Structure 1
Amino acid sequence: MSMSSMLLFFLAQSKSFFLSIITVFLNIQISFKSNYIFSPFLWCCLIASISTFYLKKCSKKVYLVDFACYKPLPSCICAKEMFIEKSKLVGSFRDESINFQSKILDRSGFGDKTYVPEDSLRIPPRICTSEARRETESVIFGVVDELLLKTKMKVEDIDILITNCCIFNPSPSLSTVVVNHYKLEDQVLCYNLSGMGCSAGLVAVDLAKQLLMVHQNSYALVVSTEILNSGWYSGNNRSMLVTNCLFRVGGAAILLSNISSDSRRSKYDLKHTGSQDNCYNSVLQKEDETDKIRGIALSNDLMSSAGLALKENITTLGKYVLPLLEQLKFATSFVVKKYINKNMKVYTPDFKLCFEHFCIHTGGKAVQDEMQKVLGLSDWQIEPSRMTLYRFGNTSSSSVWYALAYCEAKGRIRKGDRIWQVAFGSGFKCNTTVWCALRNVDPIKDINPWSDEVHEFPVDD
C-alpha cells in the first residue's frame, strides 16, 4: 500500500483529527525544506501517530465472542396440565387459586415443553436453600461449561465475571460460587447483581461494557439466570401466584472481549446500551396480607409501566440509531404535544428502519402483544420472542438470549444485521442493547438449544 493510500484510509476514520495532524507535519516539513532528511522521518512519525490513535480507537470496541443458553434435562419438562395437577396435590392452594392459575397458563402463550426444577415436581415441593443451590449449580455450571467448549476459552483468561439473579442471593455470592468452582485467578474482578428482575441480563452486559472500556485486552464473562426454587409462592394472593405460572428454568452465559484480534472470531459488535427506570411498585417482593407468605407481586399497572418505560427508552436510544427524518418526526410531535396540543399522540419512530431482528423479553403473551403494537412489528419480527415464550417460557433475564439463539438457529443472522434486545424488570426498568453481526451465523456449525427442533417452529401459539 502506498503512503497516499494509507493516508486516505486513516483519514476516513477521523477526518478532522487527522487533517490537523497532517497540517502540522506539512508545516514542519516546509520549514525544514532545505534539509531533506527530515521528510521521511516526519512522515514516519505521522504514520506512527495515526496508527497509534487508530489502534486505540479500535481497542475500545466490545465484541460478543459467543454465548450459550441452558437446556435442562427432559425430566424437567412440565406441561401446563401437569403443572395444575401438581398444584392441586400441594395442598396449600384453594380451589379458586387453582382455577386462577389454570386461566393464567391458558393465556400465557406457553407450550407443553417448558422446564421447571426437578424439586418443584415433587409432592410436596422441596423449597429450601440446599435445593436452590442444586438448581443454581446445574444451570450455571451447565451453561458456562457449554460456552467454554464453544469458544475454546481457558478459565484463566477470564478477567471480569458478572453474575445476575434477582431472588436467590446466597452467601458466598453466585459470582464467588463460579470463581470457586472454576478456580479462576485471584485478580479476577467479580460482581453479583440482584433484585433487578428480568432486565438484569442487559444491565450486566452494560456493566461489562463499562469495565472493558477501562481494562484493556480483557475478557468478561456474564452469567444470567433466575433460580425458581427460592421464588416459589405457596399462598393464595393472585398477584403473587402469577409468578409461579410464568417463570421457568433457564440461563445464559455470554463472553465479551475488547481485544481487537477477536473481531475475526466474534459474532457481534456491541453498539449501544440504554436504560430507563420508573413505576417502582410494578414488581415488588413482599409478604401477602393474610398468611404472611413471601412472594413477588405483579401490579395491574405492569403493562402501562412497560409501555411508558419503553417510550422513554426510545427517546434516549433513538438519537443514536434512528434516521434523521424519524428523529425529526418524533421531536416535532413531542414539541407539539408539550406546548401546543396536549391531546396529540407522540409519534412512535419506525424502528424497523434501524434493526433487522428484535429480541423482546418473554414476559408473557400480553407483553409481547403490546410491544408488537407499540413498535409496529410484523409477525415474523416478533416470532423469535413468541416462540421462545412457547418453548422455554419466561426464563427471566436470560430470555432475550434464547430469542437471539432462535434467530441463529433459523439461519437469519447475516453479516451487518442489527439486533435490538429489549428487556423489562423490577424497578420498573426497561433496558436495551444493540448488536451488529460481524459475520453470517451458520446454524449447522453454531449449535444451540434450538438446533435439534427448530424445524418444528414457528407454531400457532
Structure 2
Amino acid sequence: MGCSAGILALHLARDVLNVHGNSLALILSMESVAVNFYKGDTKSMLLSNCLFRMGGAGALLSNRPPLQVRACPHRQDPPRGQQCRLLLRNAAARRPGPHRRITQVAGEALKENMTAVGKVVLSYWEQVAYVWGGSVPELRKGMEHFCIHAGGKAVIEAIRERLRLRERDVEASKMALWRFGNKSSSSTWYALAYLEANGRLETGDKVCQLAFGSGFKCNTAIWKCVSPPRIQASNV
C-alpha cells in the first residue's frame, strides 16, 4: 500500500464500525527503514536512506457520530503504476525505489482522484466550470485545510501548483517534512497534528488528507471538524 496505507486503512475501519455498533477502531500508520536500508554505494539507490525516517501515528475512530461523506475512487493502472515502485537490485543489496515515471503517473492519478472528490465537496457551479474547462477542480473553494503526503518538497510544490493552492495550504505538510522527514503513511497525520497544535481548525472546517502510494495509488479522506481541539502549550 506504500505511503497511502494510512488513508486506505480508513476504509477498513469504516467497514468494521459499520458492523460493530458503539465501537472504536484504532489505525496505526508507521514507517520503518530498517528492512530496506541500502548499504551499497550506488548514489541513485541511496535516496530512500536520505528521505525516509522512522516514526508513526495513531488515529482512534468511533461510529458515534458516524462519518457521513466519503469518496473512494480506485485507479487501476498496472503497467506503468507498478513500475513506479520497483525492487531495485545491484551487487551490494536490493531495496524498493521510485521510478522516473512516478511524476507523470502521479499527475494522472491526482487528476482522477480530485475529480471524484470535487463531486462531493464543490458546489454545482464549480462542477459545471470543471466540465467545461477540463482542468483539476479548485478544491480550495470547498475545503479549508489540506494535509498532503510529505514525500518531499518537490512533491508538495507540484501538488500545490496542480491544485492551485496557497502557500498557507501546504504549510502543514512542509513543516511535517522539515521537522520529521518522510514518515510514509503517517505523514498526513503529522500534518493534521500541526494544524491542531497551531489552532487552525474551527467548527465546520473541512480537512483534506491526500496521500500517494505504490501501485500507483492516490487516496483522499475528507474530515469535518465538529469541535476545535484543545491547544496545549507543550504541543509544538
Answer whether contact 1:270 1:435 (CA < 8 A) is retained: no
Q: Please state if 1:315 is matched with 2:112.
A: no
Q: How many residues align?
A: 232
Counterpart code for 1:245: C
SS in 2 for 1:259: coil
Structure 2 unmatched runs, 5+: none
1:205 Cα offset (Å): 1.0
Q: Please state if 1:281 is matched with 2:83.
A: yes
Answer whether contact 1:415 1:439 (CA < 8 A) is retained: yes
1:274 Cα offset (Å): 2.3
Q: Please state if 1:424 is matched with 2:215.
A: no
Alignment partner, residue 203 of structure 1 = 8
Q: Please state if 1:371 is matched with 2:159.
A: yes
User: Quick one: which of 277, 280, 293 aligns to 2:93?
Assistant: 293
SS in 2 for 1:412: coil
* 1:414-443 per-position Cα deviation (integer Å, ceiling 9, x unaligned): 110000000001101101000000101221
- Note the 1:32-431 alignment, pairs <5 A: 196-260=1-65, 271-277=69-75, 278=77, 279-284=81-86, 286-288=87-89, 290-291=90-91, 293-333=93-133, 346-431=134-219
Answer whether contact 1:202 1:433 (CA < 8 A) is retained: yes
* 1:21-71 per-position Cα deviation (integer Å, ceiling 9, x unaligned): xxxxxxxxxxxxxxxxxxxxxxxxxxxxxxxxxxxxxxxxxxxxxxxxxxx
- Residue 211 to residue 320, structure 1, CA distance change in 2 (3 Å): same
Answer whether contact 2:71 2:116 (CA < 8 A) is retained: no
Counterpart code for 1:271: V
1:444 Cα offset (Å): 2.2
Could you say what the CA RMSD is over the residues aligned between the two structures, in angstroms? Answer: 1.8
How far, CA to CA, are the matches of 1:348 and 1:364 in structure 2?
Answer: 22
1:275 Cα offset (Å): 4.1
Answer whether contact 2:4 2:219 (CA < 8 A) is retained: yes
Answer whether contact 1:220 1:257 (CA < 8 A) is retained: yes
1:236 Cα offset (Å): 3.5
SS in 2 for 1:230: coil
How far, CA to CA, are the matches of 1:386 and 1:318 in structure 2?
Answer: 24
Percentage identity across paired residues of the two chains: 44
Answer whether contact 1:242 1:298 (CA < 8 A) is retained: no
Question: Normalization by structure 2: what TM-score?
Answer: 0.92
SS in 1 for 2:46: helix
1:292 Cα offset (Å): 5.8
* 1:236-272 per-position Cα deviation (integer Å, ceiling 9, x unaligned): 3444321111001110111111134xx8xxxxx5632
Ranked by relative contact order (alpha carbons within 8 Å, sequence separation 6 or more), the top structure is: 2
SS in 1 for 2:201: coil
- Residue 316 to residue 238, structure 1, CA distance change in 2 (3 Å): farther
Counterpart code for 2:201: I
Answer whether contact 1:248 1:394 (CA < 8 A) is retained: yes
Alignment partner, residue 103 of structure 1 = none
Q: Please state if 1:436 is matched with 2:224.
A: yes
Structure 1 unmatched runs, 5+: 1-195, 264-268, 334-345, 455-461
Answer whether contact 1:231 1:296 (CA < 8 A) is retained: yes
* 1:3-38 per-position Cα deviation (integer Å, ceiling 9, x unaligned): xxxxxxxxxxxxxxxxxxxxxxxxxxxxxxxxxxxx
Answer whether contact 1:276 1:312 (CA < 8 A) is retained: no
SS in 1 for 2:26: strand
Answer whether contact 1:198 1:425 (CA < 8 A) is retained: yes
Higher helix share: 1
Runs of 4 or more, structure 1, over 2 Å off, are 235-240, 273-278
How far, CA to CA, are the matches of 2:220 and 2:130 in structure 1?
Answer: 19
